Amino acid sequence: MSALPLVVILCPKEFRFTDHTATIEAPFLAGVAELKTVWLEFNAPFPDEVLGAAAIILWHGPLVDAGVVARLRHCRAIIRNGVGFDSVDTVAAAKAGIAVCNVPDYGTEEVADHALALTLALYRQLFPLDAEAKRLGWKIDVAAKMRRLRTQTFGIVGLGRIGTAAALRAKAFGFRVAFFDPYAPTGTHKAVGIERVGSLGELLKISDTISIHCPLSAETRGMIGESEIARMKPGSFLVNTARGDIVQKAPVFAALRSGHLAGAGLDVVEAEPLRTAGEAATPNLIVTCHAAFCSPEGMVEMRSTSAKIARAAVLGEQVWNRVN
């Protein structure tokens, strides 16, 4: 039996972004910890080897609630392989002396690129034009829906790393860019060269596109609902590459069907994935499978960072990106 502490990489069974041999993580933990990858069904109980790990690298899915935290015997750190950490009870972990860390910067470029890709697809009507061309048509039926970006306001909710990257990209395309973020330091708008507004309501009122870039929390869960969508400009667009549960999907789909929203680009949806054929048939809707973070380069960066944090935790060194 190995005398080294155990680091477990914990994944839902259907997940395919990692490999059994942990080829990215292994070099960082060689000689420091035994490393094992464990695949679980979403609601399956955690096996004893996970409960006895010194550090857990957690992919999407398995929920580490207060009950699980109480059963962790040697854990020093839970590292969320990604930005969001809402699958971990951070309060319970803090009380147990367990650091909860994330990897907040690995997919900054990819998610910002994806948000702008969804936005451009909506503005330039790429999918309707593609469908028309493949029907052997050439009338450009959607010409009236295509807009000049320089006349449009791109509104950002949450100016963190990804929100800032999206702002710079939107500026490059000629958008007027504004944001709402009550936690952004004073003067942030001057540093980035965009406009700051004092309330979500004001941003909804002035924007032609709303792009969501805030974390999911008790404060932001369901933040964009029926009343917020009603305050958006008729014919505006909604883009979400953050977390699905920030935006209530029923009023979004209703607004798309009524025409109040001209389109929505959603990489994430509430209670994802889409649940019914009716949801999937919603007009002027683009959905992209919670894939905005994806790229081979991003995966290597994320997995390497998680492994480095796990190494520090096992060695009793200071960890970083701690969220609790």
Would you please indicate which residues are annotated as catalytic (active-site) residues?
243, 272, 290
The C-alpha atoms of residue 105 and residue 316 are separated, in whole angstroms, by: 24
Buried b / exposed e along 157-170 (16+ C-beta atoms within 10 A): bbbbbbbbbbbebb
Question: C-alpha 224: how far from its chain's center?
Answer: 16
CA distances from 38 to 11, 34, 50, 247 (A): 6, 13, 8, 32
CA distance 236 to 245: 21
Q: Which residue is it, tokens 């697809």?
A: 121
| Helical (H) or strand (E) element with 258 | helix 249-258
Tokens of 49: 């080897």
Q: Which two tokens stand for residue 84?
A: 């969001």
DSSP state of 62: -
Q: Classify burial at 237, counting beta carbons within 10 Å of its beta carbon; exposed 0-12, middle 13-18, buried 19 or more.
A: buried
Q: How far apart are CA 108 and CA 112, in angstroms?
A: 6
Write the CB contacts of 117 (distance below 8 Å, at least 6 apart in sequence): none
Q: Which of 192, 195, 161, 165 is nearest to 180 (CA)?
A: 195
